[in-house]
Chain A
Amino acid sequence: MSAPGAPFSRRWRNPSPPNLARTATLLALLLAAAGTFGLLVRSAPAQEPEPPGSAVIAALEREVAILSERMTQTEIRESRLASDEVTLSSRVEMLKQAPRSVVRDAELQSALRSLRGVLAEIRNLDNLENILVTTLRTRQVALRQAATAEAERLIRTGQREVRGGNDTDGMQHFAAAFSYLQRGQGGRARNLMGHERDIIQRTTVPEAIPATGRESPDELRALAVILRDSAEKLKLNANATMEELSQLEAERNTVQALQALDGARPSATGLRVQNRLDRRIGELTQELAGIRGELSGRLAQANAMEWQATQYETILLREGATLPRKPR
């Protein structure tokens, strides 16, 4: 439970049952963002290798610049809203402490309405920011890959020129290659690639709500939605853990390759570090197994609840009864 003085958004952001409206809002936001940045129309998935070339690189640079600008605007808007939220939260708290009267009640209602509006906008902006971060990072990785491929091609050409005795042309190709490598960094745009490990974040997953066995079909379906929503979050966490694991395994290969250079006597620190790395990989593997178990459990439970709701509805319809509705 949050402290009474805590901003409302903290309380609202706590795990709460998602509803259809929220899912629809998120979907709409996703579609809007995808449409805005032309993701649906023309860009290929990040996994597909894009042909290197200055036109592709220029297009990616433009996208990265637009996305960076959009992120900056979103952050400015978010910080303004956060300030509004603090002001409105304290006003609501103050009005709650004031003696009851018609005027106070009206003011409180008005303040609460404004606060809800601000909070809804903050949530929307949070979602938009998440989409922007993911899209920007994908585009930056694509830009870096395309620029690196082009730079490598130019270096190979330059090397051929030098071996053929044409140093001048070779040097020009090398210079052009360096310019591509720098462009691959995204120029002056915001760089999200610097510490990729920092971006791996875990989502807070709400606790599973046990069914009492006395739920109506509607309530069972609502519970199933909550379970599916939390399973989605678990899936995100599983992906993040898998990403961290693959990075650590790659790092273990690097550590082993470097230790191989030391010959038969690896450094004591190196061995300690490797033990630590192995232990962390073991921990993450176990964590992943746990998350996967929980995920499949929740999905199975959601399926069971939906099946139970359908059965319940079928029986009631067969008996000609009116389906019980959750009182509003």
Chain B
Amino acid sequence: MIPFHQRTRRAGIRPLVRKAIGIACAIAIGLVTGATLTTPVVAAGLPADDAAHLAAAYQDLQAERYQAALQTLSDLQTRHPHHPDTLIGLAQAHLELGQLTEAFSLLQLQRTLYPSQAAGHYLLGLLFLRSGLPESAVSTLSQAVAIQPGNELFRMQLARALAATGQPYAAASQYGWLLERTEAAGRRPDPELVYEMADLAARLEIRSDAERLYRLLIALEPSGARARIARDWLNNASPPDSAPPPPTTP
């Protein structure tokens, strides 16, 4: 298979058109990564060709074609060894392919060169979670959240890391933040998020929250394992204030 950058070169696109494609790709990557990593618009400081390759690599990442992304990004890195988005994309490809040592090394390199970029901290947090190092994940994801407090993806993973380290209250506060933000924006909440939050609320015995969330979960996802668990909990839970009052003697 011919690499993407060679295909574009063979097509003989004129420089201006190539530049326009580069900009369009950059915006596209910005949107893609904005939804996931919220990196700044990529391709800054890259020639149009390489910007297009970077865009293609990020599209491959989005489409879970990690091997193809890895190939393109490795090629790009030889030409631009310190480009932040190349490093991030490459680390993500390694991470998704389970090559954790490579991903870790690249992310450390990225964090050394660009310590104020949240994406590096976030990906490293994910890597720690996948490697069974939740304490390290909490620390790294907290750094990502401190840089970008409004990023829902960072908060979600931080909530999971906090729950994994046995800090249910801190995790519940993050899930709560996420849910309130989703509801305020009028968006449909993610059933997985609702389920995780409901489970935590039930464990912390915040009954009102647990009940509301399990009902919401059933409304969002009426069938399946999670809905069954929600129904079981709702059937077994007998709120203390619903008990009949004691009989009064005349």
> Which of B33-41, B59-67, B166-174, B220-228 forms contacts with chain A?
B166-174
- Taking A174-B104, A262-B149 as contacts, is the C-beta distance between A272 and B209 under 8 angstroms? yes
A interface bracket (residues with beta carbon within 8 Å of B): 35 or more
Most-contacted residue by chain A among B105, B131, B162, B206 (CB, 10 A): B105
Once bound together, how far apart are the Cα atoms of A309 and B20, in whole Å?
98
Min distance, Cβ B150 to any Cβ of chain A, angstroms: 9
Asked if A254 and B149 sit within 8 Å, CB to CB, the answer is no
Q: Is the interface of A mostly helix, strand, loop or mixed?
A: helix
Chain B residues whose C-beta falls within 8 Å of the C-beta of A196 in the assembled complex: 166
Asked if A269 and B81 sit within 8 Å, CB to CB, the answer is no
Asked if A171 and B109 sit within 8 Å, CB to CB, the answer is yes
Asked if A270 and B112 sit within 8 Å, CB to CB, the answer is no
B74 at the binding interface (Cβ < 8 Å) = no
Asked if B104 and A178 sit within 8 Å, CB to CB, the answer is yes
Most-contacted residue by chain A among B109, B145, B170 (CB, 10 A): B170
Chain A residues whose C-beta falls within 8 Å of the C-beta of B133 in the assembled complex: 181, 185
Scoring A residues 264 to 308 as 1 if CB is less than 8 Å from chain B, else 0, what string do you get?
000111101110110000000000000000000000000000000
Partner among B106, B158, B176, B205 whose Cβ is within 8 Å of the Cβ of A270: B176
Chain B residues whose C-beta falls within 8 Å of the C-beta of A175 in the assembled complex: 101-102, 104-105
Asked if A255 and B169 sit within 8 Å, CB to CB, the answer is yes
Asked if B206 and A276 sit within 8 Å, CB to CB, the answer is yes
Chain B residues whose C-beta falls within 8 Å of the C-beta of A107 in the assembled complex: none
B229 at the binding interface (Cβ < 8 Å) = no
Once bound together, how far apart are the Cα atoms of A182 and B81, in whole Å?
27
Partner among B109, B146, B169 whose Cβ is within 8 Å of the Cβ of A276: B169
B204 at the binding interface (Cβ < 8 Å) = yes
Asked if A262 and B177 sit within 8 Å, CB to CB, the answer is yes
Asked if A276 and B204 sit within 8 Å, CB to CB, the answer is yes
Chain B residues whose C-beta falls within 8 Å of the C-beta of A276 in the assembled complex: 169, 204-206
Partner among B101, B109, B166, B174 whose Cβ is within 8 Å of the Cβ of A197: B166
Partner among B136, B180, B205 whose Cβ is within 8 Å of the Cβ of A181: B136
Scoring A residues 16 to 49 as 1 if CB is less than 8 Å from chain B, else 0, what string do you get?
0000000000000000000000000000000000
Asked if B204 and A273 sit within 8 Å, CB to CB, the answer is yes
Min distance, Cβ A276 to any Cβ of chain B, angstroms: 6
Min distance, Cβ B213 to any Cβ of chain A, angstroms: 10
> Which of A162-170, A233-241, A318-326 forms contacts with chain B?
A162-170
Number of A-B pairs whose CB atoms are under 8 Å?
Answer: 101
A207 at the binding interface (Cβ < 8 Å) = no
- Taking A261-B145, A262-B149 as contacts, is the C-beta distance between A179 and B170 under 8 angstroms? no
- Taking A261-B149, A267-B180, A268-B180 as contacts, is the C-beta distance between A155 and B108 under 8 angstroms? yes
Once bound together, how far apart are the Cα atoms of A155 and B104, in whole Å?
11
Asked if A170 and B176 sit within 8 Å, CB to CB, the answer is no
Once bound together, how far apart are the Cα atoms of A158 and B108, in whole Å?
9
Asked if B173 and A162 sit within 8 Å, CB to CB, the answer is no
Partner among A178, A247, A251 whose Cβ is within 8 Å of the Cβ of B101: A178
Chain B residues whose C-beta falls within 8 Å of the C-beta of A328 in the assembled complex: none
Asked if B176 and A267 sit within 8 Å, CB to CB, the answer is yes
Asked if A269 and B179 sit within 8 Å, CB to CB, the answer is yes
Partner among A163, A185, A252, A267 whose Cβ is within 8 Å of the Cβ of B112: A163
B13 at the binding interface (Cβ < 8 Å) = no
A177 at the binding interface (Cβ < 8 Å) = yes
Contact residues, B86-133 vs A (CB, 8 A): 100-102, 104-106, 108-109, 112-113, 131-133
A259 at the binding interface (Cβ < 8 Å) = yes
B214 at the binding interface (Cβ < 8 Å) = no
Min distance, Cβ B214 to any Cβ of chain A, angstroms: 15
Partner among A163, A177, A273 whose Cβ is within 8 Å of the Cβ of B169: A273
Chain B residues whose C-beta falls within 8 Å of the C-beta of A255 in the assembled complex: 169-170, 173
Interfacial residues, chain B to chain A (CB-CB below 8 A): 81, 100-102, 104-106, 108-109, 112-113, 131-133, 136, 142, 145-146, 149, 158, 162, 166-167, 169-170, 172-177, 179-180, 204-206, 209
Please give 18 more A-B residue pairs, beta carbons under 8 A apart, in addition to A181-B136, A272-B176: A158-B108, A159-B108, A162-B109, A162-B112, A171-B106, A175-B101, A175-B105, A177-B104, A177-B108, A181-B131, A196-B166, A198-B166, A247-B166, A251-B167, A269-B180, A270-B173, A274-B173, A276-B204
